[in-house]
Amino acid sequence: MHIIESGNVAAATGVKLSRAEVIAAYPITPQTPLTEKLSELVDSGEMKAEYIPVESEHSALAVCIAASSSGSRAFTATSANGLLYMNEQIHWAAGARLPIVMCVVNRGIGAPWTVWNDHQDSISQRDTGWIQLYQCDHQQIIDTVIQAFLIAETVSIPVMVCYDGYLLSHTYMPFEIPGQSEIDKFLPKFKPAYFLDPKNPANLNTVTLPDVRPDVRGDLAPGYMEIRHNLHMDMRRTISVVEEVDRKYQKVTGRGGTPLVEKYECDDADFIAVCLGSLSYQLRDVVDMMRKEGIKAGVFGIRLYRPFPDQAIANALSRAKGVVVFEKALSYGNQGALFADIKSALYNSGNKPFVHNYILGLGGREIKTQDLFNSFMASCKDDGKIGDEPQWIGLKM
């Protein structure tokens, strides 16, 4: 079935089809309509789930942690400072290896206050141990929310499904809704390897000593460092799991094929733009303009940002003459976070293209297609003046 609806409704529909059992909700713009839609679905009886309104974002994730620890499929959503308010619990959910799914509707962080879009909120949480998946349109939102539950439950790591506030959350686009029977085949009932059970009492995530030690059964148990190592290694394994889940989803729905990155005109491109989110679709217009000017340009939209698919990125980008990273976030005092990751991925490449960095769209600053074109063209014709420092697009100083 095809419908025309908002990105938030696409996300809520994906949660419904995934048969989430516990939903924790606290409103924050521009995420609010997502959880409002879920409340309507639960209230009408279209969705069988516990809908729990709470007093803060910190509590919302605490509810999901408790629900997931008890063996239930749990979901929440947030934005901006709400995501930051969850920070302690974000680390806890990853360290406890709980397969929670959370939509992050990207919005700039205060102070000063802004309700408009950029990526600073989710980028600030990139090192918390959560998988991060970025969406470009409404179809990707609904499909990725569904896939996120299977990914999370396969590797026992929580997932953030990130999409642009307003640009996607509130705009209306057509998307296809898969049948419930199809999704039930794709995503079986959640069966955790271990969960809290009154019949089998246990302590979870108690104080861990620096070194390994015997557990209550006398078996050698990992210490804190081993637990962190295991999370890291399973995060790296997640790259192949994301690809496998996408292949499985393709067989069921006929959609997919871009689990790690989404390419446009990259096969013969000399110069490739790299970005996250819906910006990659705007850059397609820029690429079309540049190709009319005789410049072989392409766009490389990153779908999976954490774990970082460095090998796939290096294989695709190392053949280019230049890579231009456009991003709506910044690692203050250094450079764009995505820019640094791209350079790291290319470090061992035999052919090292130049890599330039543009910061734009912070706090919802308008991103004009002509400005993207001018900046991309400037990098393609660079005579060494741009260098390694981030350049700012739309800065009025």
- Residue limits of CATH 3.40.50.920 in the chain: 261-392
Span 223-250, average pLDDT: 97
User: Which neighbouring-strand residues pair with 221?
Assistant: 213
- Residue limits of CATH 3.40.50.970 in the chain: 2-186
The model's pLDDT over 182-192, given as tens digits with 9 standing for 90+, comes to 999 999 999 98
What would the two tokens of residue 37 be?
């839609």
Residue range 261-392, CATH number: 3.40.50.920
Q: pLDDT-derived band of residue 210, with 50, 70 and 90 as boundaries?
A: confident
Please say whether the structural domain 2-186 has been given the CATH code 3.40.50.10860: no
What would the two tokens of residue 33 be?
């309509």
What would the two tokens of residue 105 be?
């509707």
Residue 383's pLDDT is 66
Residue 297's pLDDT is 98
The model's pLDDT over 163-183, given as tens digits with 9 standing for 90+, comes to 999 999 999 999 999 999 999
Residue 240's pLDDT is 98
Span 126-152, average pLDDT: 98
Residue 69 CB neighbour total at 10 angstroms: 18
* pTM strictly above 0.75: yes
Residue 387's pLDDT is 79
pLDDT score of 202 more than 90: no
- Of 324, 232, 346, 320, the closest CA to residue 274 belongs to 324
Residue 165's pLDDT is 98
Whole-angstrom distance, CA of residue 391 vs CA of residue 339: 12
